[in-house]
Structure 1
Amino acid sequence: MIWSYCEWWNSLTDTPMRPLTPEQAQARHDSGQLYTAVASPRGNSAPELRVEMRMETGYSSVIFMDALGRDSLDYTFTLINGSFFLEAATSYEYGDSQERGGYADAERMEVYEFTTDGIIRGLVEVDGEESKETRHGVDVTGNWEPVPHFGAYDALIRRDRT
């Protein structure tokens, strides 16, 4: 992976906003300020994912992107007792749409919210129709991740979390 850094990612234009040098991004990481790490498989290729970090508010998000730059999967973590807890997972499907980035409307969206005491709330939305489900007693030990050092995002960017 080739990492580049910016303050935040503009989903509508598929571009970094306020690019940062690695040194500037590390300073933001160390101070808890917002920055985004963008991963591409090779130099000058389309990004595959981005990691948003904002330790001052105890937030991190890993967003996987499809070939058209659209968000396909978003893992949102919150800081609890010095570790990150995966509190939400949102997936998006766009059907046959060829719209790029933030201009595309998802045909299907699934949102799963997790609590530390083993409750999962699920919402599936397909073409405006919603269905909800809640489960109790779910083992969420796999939802915990250590807070990464700058640039060491491997534990957070695991796509398969089952």
Structure 2
Amino acid sequence: MTELHYCDFWFSAKKSARNIINESEAKSRHENHARYTVLVGSTTTPSAIVDVLLGKDMIGVDFLDEHLRERLTYQFQRVASDKLFLSMVVHREFTGKSDNVAKGTCYIFNEDGRLTIIKEAFSPHHLEECSTTHDPIGNYEPVPVFGHYSGLIAEERWMLMPDRLDRPRGGAQADAIAPLSALVGLSLTPQFRAAFVKQQRA
């Protein structure tokens, strides 16, 4: 059984949990749609973090590497009282053992099957984007019962993501990749910058 711990939130910049709380307190927050965070495996070196924000109709999941860097992020939005939709996945690669993001890929999903893939490298800077389609059925997940988060932390979801901008899996045909010159300023918008270089959800 996966070991679970609970806290107010995970402070990414300090790579530490803030205010460890007991299971009873976490359950009360879950039932009252108050924020709490699940630490998977350890209070100090968790393998994943589940930030439960049901009061804001969202749940965020971060998978950490051995240096406690957020290598993979899932963002779920509540689309019905009992249903979540995986709306965004961000994969990051880092420079050596530092916390500097070298490059990342962001997948933005829509319930109607539209999918936008954005790849960004930072040194030297380069940005490209394409649009394609996906089967949204695999993006739905039940709103978790307290203490049961296995569906949210299923890393296999990432393995099914299209791995190339110009050749998505499943035979879907991507639109032409937009060069950086056609996307001036996009990488500076808060949603994408925050997705790749995220410090804290607070």
Shift in Å at residue 9 of structure 1? 0.5
Counterpart CA distance in 2 for 1:18 and 1:144 is 31
Name structure 1 gaps, 5 residues minimum: none
Greater helix proportion: 2
* 2:94–2:101 CA contact under 8 A, matched in 1: yes
2:105 paired residue number: 110
1:133 paired residue number: 130
Shift in Å at residue 12 of structure 1? 1.4
Counterpart CA distance in 1 for 2:28 and 2:103 is 38
Shift in Å at residue 95 of structure 1? 3.6
2:87 paired residue number: 87
Two-structure CA RMSD over aligned residues (Å): 1.3
After TM superposition, the score normalised by the length of structure 1 is: 0.91
Counterpart CA distance in 2 for 1:31 and 1:67 is 34
Greater strand proportion: 1
1:38 paired residue number: 39
Counterpart CA distance in 1 for 2:40 and 2:105 is 24
Say whether residues 1:124 and 2:124 are aligned partners: no
Q: Any residues of structure 2 matched to 1:13-162 within 5 Å, and which?
A: 13-40=14-41, 46-82=45-81, 83-96=83-96, 98-99=97-98, 104-127=99-122, 128-136=125-133, 138-161=134-157, 162=160
Shift in Å at residue 141 of structure 1? 0.3
Name structure 2 gaps, 5 residues minimum: 161-202
* 2:106–2:117 CA contact under 8 A, matched in 1: yes
**What letter is aligned with 1:89?**
V
Counterpart CA distance in 1 for 2:72 and 2:154 is 11
Tell me the secondary structure at the aligned position of residue 101 of structure 2.
coil
Q: Which runs of 4+ in 1 moved over 4 A?
A: none
What is the number of equivalent residue pairs in this alignment?
154
Counterpart CA distance in 1 for 2:142 and 2:44 is 29
Counterpart CA distance in 2 for 1:44 and 1:122 is 33
Decide which structure has the larger Cα Rg and report it: 2
Shift in Å at residue 121 of structure 1? 0.7
Q: Percent identity?
A: 25
Shift in Å at residue 123 of structure 1? 0.7
